């Protein structure tokens, strides 16, 4: 009997992970070690941004948020320009807060805030390149704050690019409609505002260690 037990083995000799009908539970420490060093899930994105064991982000992509924000920014910019051209072109400025803030329509062939008017084509190419980069980056977008930032940047770039393509004096040389005129500052539009706000948010996210894929780098 003792010889038979030695050959067959007793139930207590079988490790728990190898017993039939049972599955080995994942080791939490091993899963934590599998994450890339220096990264943690984005706390503001919740558990959906947690890393899988292979180091890739887990959860919903934020592409829908990006394009929703971009659509709103683009629509507001487009509608405001249509109204401004219809109501303010060839008219005196409209005072909103005395001389400190006025609505005054101008056609700007330069960059944002009327800078670089001699380089219209270059700014057109830059705006198109920004849009392409954002679309490519959207495939790896899991962070909600990054989705808002890129959405603002996308919508603003698309708004001014529309003017470059469709307004006079010609395709890729069109003048952008600007109309927000603070005192002692350049005239700008809603697309410029969206671009600046998106850019500032991107800088803040980068300095805080947040990546578009939802991870956070802690130096």
Task: Tell me the H-state helices in the chain.
Answer: 2-8, 28-34, 63-88, 120-137, 144-166, 190-207
Q: Which of 45, 77, 163, 192 is catalytic?
A: 192
Say how far apart CA 111 and CA 157 lie, in whole Å: 11
Residue 42: active-site member: no
Is residue 77 among the annotated active site residues?
no
CA 70 to CA 49: how far, in whole Å?
Answer: 22
| Separation of CA 36 from chain center | 23
Burial class of residue 29, CB neighbours in 10 A (0-12, 13-18, 19+): exposed
Q: How far apart are CA 41 and CA 154, in angstroms?
A: 26
- From the list 42, 77, 163, 178, the catalytic residue is 178
Half-sphere exposure of 55 (CA within 13 A, CB side): 7
> What is the set of active-site residues?
178, 192
């Amino acid at each position: 009997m003792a010889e038979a037990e030695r050959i067959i083995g007793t139930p207590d000799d079988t490790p728990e992970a190898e017993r039939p009908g049972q599955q080995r539970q994942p080791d939490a420490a091993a899963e934590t070690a599998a994450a890339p060093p220096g990264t943690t899930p984005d706390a503001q994105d919740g558990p959906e941004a947690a890393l899988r064991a292979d180091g890739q982000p887990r959860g919903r992509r934020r592409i829908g948020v990006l394009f929703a924000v971009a659509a709103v920014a683009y629509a507001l910019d487009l509608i405001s320009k249509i109204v401004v051209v219809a109501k303010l072109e060839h008219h005196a400025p409209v005072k909103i807060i005395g001389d400190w803030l006025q609505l005054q329509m101008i056609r700007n062939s330069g960059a944002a805030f009327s800078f670089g008017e001699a380089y219209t084509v270059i700014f057109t190419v830059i705006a198109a390149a920004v849009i392409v980069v954002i679309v490519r980056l959207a495939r790896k977008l899991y962070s909600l704050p990054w989705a808002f930032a890129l959405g603002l940047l996308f919508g603003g770039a698309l708004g001014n690019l529309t003017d470059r393509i469709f307004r006079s004096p010609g395709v890729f040389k069109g003048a952008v409609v600007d109309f927000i005129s603070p005192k002692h500052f350049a005239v700008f539009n809603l697309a410029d505002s969206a671009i600046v706000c998106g850019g500032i948010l991107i800088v803040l996210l980068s300095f805080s260690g947040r990546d578009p894929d939802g991870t956070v780098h802690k130096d």
